[in-house]
Amino acid sequence: MDTVESLEEKQGEKAFNAPTTPVADSRLFQTPQKHRLILCLLLALATVALYNPVTRAPFLNFDDSAYFVDNPHVHAGLSWKTVVWAFTTTELSDWKPIAWLSHALDAQLFGLKPEGPHTVNILLHATNAVLLFLILLRATGFIWRSLMVAGLLALHPINVESVAWIAERKNVLSMLFFLLALAAYGRYVRHPRVGNYLLVTFAYALALMTKAQVITFPFALLLLDYWPLKRFLLEPASPGTGFAAADLAKAAPSAARLVWEKLPWFAMSFASAIITLKAESDATQHTLPRWAHVANAALSYVKYLEKAFWPVQLAAIYPHPELTISRAAAALSGAALILISLIAVRFYRQRPFFVGWFWFLGTMVPMIGLVQIGVHGMADRYAYIPLIGIFVIVCWGTAELMAKLSTPVAARALAAGVIILALAFALHQQVEYWRDNQTLWQHAIDVTEPNYMAEDNLATALIAKGRVDEAIPHLRRAEFFRPDDPLSTLNIATYEQMRGNYPAAIEGFAKMPQCTKDPQLLAMASTNSGYSRYWLKQYDMAKLDFQNAIFWKATDAGAYRGLGLVAQKTGNIPEAIQNYERAIELQPTASGFLFLAQAFDLNHQSAAARAAQSQAAQFAIDLSDDQATVHHFLAD
């Protein structure tokens, strides 16, 4: 009777476009089709079950607000206006219309609650794991190796960030389109027709419009052309290496032709890169010398490898070492990368799956930091696609080693089971860190200190719980670690505003343009500064601040409300009504309608005032707090 390994080798002999007559294993399933279906279901169910606690997590207080919670375009759902905005905006320093539309669909389906978007992210991740399994199985014929690679993708703790963070919908969704493009490419290779080529192009376009990280797709296809598709060399196909020899002789084009057929996809990558660099120009770090970027890239590659094999001390933010980076450590890391690359080249004929190493190096290039975007040194989410190459090397290499050592099938299965269980345990632990903002950022501080961004975000989480006095020491620590840190500068100024120390608050807000070019932060600082000046009765200066806020962020409801307050205080009631209405359009609230109702009343529009009062009641059963707020702002 055939063993599991011998059955897998027989399937490996079928190659990518070989006949589909299956090898049956009646001991497990009646047909290979049921075999695959059950394995896909088990993979998906395990992924969903282990990630299920994420559905109870709140919105993250880092980017989720801009991507979802406070974004009026997303709140509008899938309206035509939202579609036009999604395809024309470079908000948050990127062009990602499909990602925006997915958030808008979430808002339309689930409202402004985090459970729905979290669930969608989990389902997308599970789908990606299943797709990867089917693509590898179709390309190589190896069931268990392909399943193990997919299992590593599904359960590796480094991918928790991509799944548990609603703002990273773009990561799991772009991976979905990336994998669909790979599947379509496999179909095109088997049946090189125009329609199949267009399917690849369409799927790749969707991936690019979701996240530009996938620009390495055509380069990755060239790697796949070598293995497992075996399109470069006219030689007999060995088990699991791609085309059968008879088909290969007819199908394998020259290397130049392989590049030529991908020119439209290279052009798409180039266009996407230009758009992204232009959109992210304000967020690009220009202050570091080139050697620091290269050194950090070398170190980050090694750190990603380390976390692939030992996924501990994972954090939501890894601060960039900047000029404190060790040149010696970077040189050793670079030497290690070169040595591994030389080994992969040396043994590429005997071990063609070493192509996974170049997959890892190549697909990581856009996010490795050679062009520094933001202030982080690396990020777990960047490894989502690249580590597939490492997983392939591990699974194929281990299987070949065990076969060479004649390891019993039971021992192989036991080893695989132990690895999966260990990953499941580590995944469960990592998911727990994402249960709330305070836990997540405290963990980031514990494993990456000093980390001024984590200190900022922990302080923000504490402030949201009303624990302002506990938050201030974290803001002071962030300011100590990074004197020009915009978040600590903004939050400390806001704290002074809350205490009624308006001159100190205004002074702090005025520092923001020297700390950041982020329009979101600059708008927030200008709005808060406007309210501080409002309380000091500096109405002309307050109006100027609110107008600056709208310059930075045209959808700043708080700034429009501030303009309405200033106009009302200075006796321009029609202008106040206009600004209050715009604020409500952007962010409808009970207090917003009450402000509008009072302005209508002062303008002798009684019917309109009653209508606004009635609309306010739809947002709160008890309006006493909102009425107190309105009275507080408009009192003499």
pLDDT exceeds cutoff 70 at 29: no
Would you state the pLDDT for residue 286?
54
Residue 294: Cβ-neighbour burial (10 angstroms; 0-12, 13-18, 19+): middle
Would you state the pLDDT for residue 371?
77
pLDDT exceeds cutoff 90 at 605: yes
| Chain segment 254-290, per-residue pLDDT in tens | 788 999 999 999 999 999 999 988 877 655 455 788 8
Quote the percentage of the chain above a pLDDT of 90.
79
Would you state the pLDDT for residue 158?
98
Contact 142, 194 (CB under 8 A): no
Evaluate the CA torsion angle 320, 323, 324, 325 in order and state its sign: positive
pLDDT exceeds cutoff 50 at 4: no
pLDDT exceeds cutoff 50 at 9: no
Would you state the pLDDT for residue 369?
86
- What are the angstrom distances between the C-alpha of 264 and each of 193, 218, 261, 293, 309? 15, 9, 8, 30, 37
- Tokens standing for 384? 């989502």
pLDDT exceeds cutoff 80 at 502: yes
Q: How far apart are CA 551 and CA 390, in angstroms?
A: 46
The mean pLDDT of 432-460, rounded to a whole number, is 95
Task: Supply the angle between the helices 115-140 and 143-155 in degrees, to the nearest 10.
Answer: 160
Helices (H), 485-589: 486-498, 502-510, 512-515, 519-535, 539-552, 557-569, 573-586
Tell me the pLDDT of the chain averaged across its residues: 90
Spell out where 117-257 has E strands. none
| Chain segment 151-194, per-residue pLDDT in tens | 999 999 999 999 999 999 999 999 999 999 999 999 999 999 99
Segment 336-344 long-range contacts (CB within 8 Å, at least 24 positions apart): 336/302, 337/298, 337/301, 337/302, 337/361
φ/ψ region of 72 (left if φ > 0, alpha if ψ in -120 to 50, else beta) reads: alpha
pLDDT exceeds cutoff 50 at 236: no
| Chain segment 349-397, per-residue pLDDT in tens | 899 999 999 999 999 999 998 876 667 889 999 999 999 999 999 999 9
Residue 623: pLDDT band with limits 50, 70, 90: confident
- Tokens standing for 193? 């027709």
- Tokens standing for 410? 């039971």
- What are the angstrom distances between the C-alpha of 577 and each of 299, 325, 538, 572, 622? 57, 55, 21, 9, 24
Q: Is 260 helix (H, G, I), strand (E, B) or coil?
A: helix
Query: Which residues, in sequence order, are bridge partners of residue 570?
Result: none
Q: How far apart are CA 321 and CA 328, in angstroms?
A: 14
Would you state the pLDDT for residue 247?
46
Side-chain-side CA neighbours of 66 within 13 Å: the count stands at 16
Residue 25: pLDDT band with limits 50, 70, 90: very low
Contact 209, 251 (CB under 8 A): no
Q: How far apart are CA 84 and CA 76, in angstroms?
A: 12
Residue 518: pLDDT band with limits 50, 70, 90: confident
The mean pLDDT of 494-523, rounded to a whole number, is 93
- Tokens standing for 609? 């005032």
Instruction: Show the domains of the chain with their CATH numbers.
Output: 30-57+114-433 (no CATH), 555-636 (1.25.40.10)
